[in-house]
Amino acid sequence: MKIQLQKTNQRYEFIGDTILDFDLSIFLFNNYPNLDEGSLTKIRSGAVDQNALVELGKKIQIGDYLLLSKAEDSTGGRDKSSIIEDAVEALIAAIYFDGGLKEVNNFVSKYIYPLIENLSKNPGEKDYKTRLQEYFAKKGKKVNYETLSKGPDHNKEFEASVFLENKVIGKGTGKSKKNAEQMAAKNAFSDIKE
């Protein structure tokens, strides 16, 4: 198969995301026969959510290998969650085109399957936003979110801040408002737990 050089990784991100879902679905189906469809879906979603892919991208230092515009590079693009997530998905597509599903499976089993063991123990675990809200509700306090978007419609990035009593306690970015708020809640929650 001949691959043409593209100016962006978006088409590769699309394929990488699809292949990753497929690989994890087969793994979960074969290794967790007692879990229902809903639990399998939650585990798969947790293993491929933005947080997990960003963590993986940082672990393999994918940001060091990205070709970015000078403007993007100068504003910290190599560390942006959405860029790292996209790069990991594009990398999975590149592995597929270069070595097929077997090589994708080798990569995924090394870096992503280990996450599944923890997720399978608590498939119904609440998301960070819910956990943060419940944590402060017990203290009689309420958190609020403010989310801004930037970039062109085809490649928007969202920035969220979570506030407690008008003070920012966490920030996050993502490709959707939901992901950005989850990242902000995760960052706030991890600061609280330290």
Answer yes or no: do 140 and 109 share one domain: no
> Burial level of 100, CB count in 10 A (0-12/13-18/19+)?
exposed
Amino acid in the structure at residue 24: L
SS3 60: coil
Does the residue 1 lie in any domain?
no
Q: Which of 17, 23, 157, 181 is catalytic?
A: 17
Answer yes or no: do 116 and 133 share one domain: no
Q: Which of 89, 157, 159, 181 is catalytic?
A: 89
Would the pLDDT of 190 be above 70? yes
Identify the domain boundary among 81, 103, 121. 121
CATH of the domain at 140: 3.30.160.20
Answer yes or no: do 112 and 91 share one domain: yes
Eight-class DSSP state of 155: G
Beta bridge partners of 149: 158
Mean pLDDT of 68-80: 87
Would the pLDDT of 57 be above 70? yes
Among 4-18, 21-35, 84-98, the least confident range: 4-18
Would the pLDDT of 36 be above 80? yes
Mean pLDDT of 169-192: 85
Known catalytic residue at 37 = no
Answer yes or no: do 63 and 100 share one domain: yes
In whole angstroms, what is the distance from residue 141 CA to residue 145 CA?
14
Answer yes or no: do 140 and 46 share one domain: no
Answer yes or no: do 36 and 85 share one domain: yes
Answer yes or no: do 54 and 147 share one domain: no
Answer yes or no: do 58 and 28 share one domain: yes
Report the pLDDT value the prediction gives residue 152, as an integer from 0 to 100.
75
User: What separation in angstroms does the CA of 175 have from each of 22, 29, 78, 148, 187?
Assistant: 21, 28, 15, 11, 17
Report the share of the chain in percent with pLDDT over 90.
38
Domain span including residue 183: 128-193
CATH of the domain at 66: 1.10.1520.10
Q: Which is nearest to 166 in space by CA: 139, 137, 189, 141?
A: 141
What's the structural domain count of the chain? 2
Answer yes or no: do 76 and 157 share one domain: no
Known catalytic residue at 89 = yes
